[in-house]
Amino acid sequence: MKVTGQCHCGKITYEAEVEPARVSACHCTDCQRLSGSAFRVSVPAPKEAFRLLTGTPRIYVKTAESGNKRAQAFCPDCGAPIYASAISDPQMYSLRVGCLDQRAQLPPVKQIWCRSSLEGTPMHRDKNVIVGRAGRVGNVECRHTATQFAALLRGCGR
Ligand SMILES: [Zn+2]
Ligand SMILES: [Zn+2]
């Protein structure tokens, strides 16, 4: 599906192609701190399909506990998070769904790092596939599915 996005002040605008089935919510502590929220919702876009239209994001390089480094792109004026990617030659951009104009059509269908999810986090739990480290989102126990978890980890780079 084609999406368009912009930061809060509007200086940065972009477009991309994403698959709604790949929208995930990450409850890791890095995503909590970087988003200033209980969790962060992202969707991957291949580099061929991602195009910056206006503005230049600033990059913050996050180093995870694992040593993994990820570029976190944000608007230097309003601070809105735009995407995360590899620090060199990115093949994929993990777009922050909250800045996409079509976000209402992109609910998270997977959740990861549930063990650090905040109590009472409101999600559409019924239809969610919940994967990842042991933990809970609300009353739902997370399952361990290592393959899915590894694939989703690229979204936040833990
Ligand atoms: Zn901005
Ligand atoms: Zn995360």
Domains of the chain by residue range: 2-154
Residue 149's identity, in one-letter code, is F
Whether 148 has a pLDDT exceeding 70, the answer reads no
CATH number belonging to domain 2-154: 2.170.150.70
Q: How far is the CA of 61 from the centre of ligand 2 (A)?
A: 14
Q: How far is the CA of 113 from the centre of ligand 1 (A)?
A: 28
- Tell me, rounded to whole angstroms, the distance of Cα 99 from its chain centroid: 11
* Pairing between β-strand 51-54 and β-strand 136-137 as defined by DSSP bridges: unpaired
- pLDDT for residue 147: 67
Cα diameter, the chain: 43
More confident residue, 59 or 112: 59
Q: What percent of the chain has pLDDT over 70?
A: 78
Cα 100 from Cα 104, distance rounded (Å):
9
pLDDT in tens, 1-18: 999 999 999 999 999 999
Q: How far is the CA of 135 from the centre of ligand 1 (A)?
A: 35
What pTM was computed for the model?
0.86
- Three-state DSSP state, 2: strand
The answer to whether 73 touches 83, Cβ cutoff 8 Å, is: yes
The answer to whether 108 touches 155, Cβ cutoff 8 Å, is: no
Q: How far is the CA of 8 from the centre of ligand 2 (A)?
A: 22
CA nearest to 10, candidates 83, 96, 98, 77: 77
- pLDDT for residue 56: 97
The answer to whether 8 touches 100, Cβ cutoff 8 Å, is: no
Q: How far is the CA of 24 from the centre of ligand 2 (A)?
A: 10
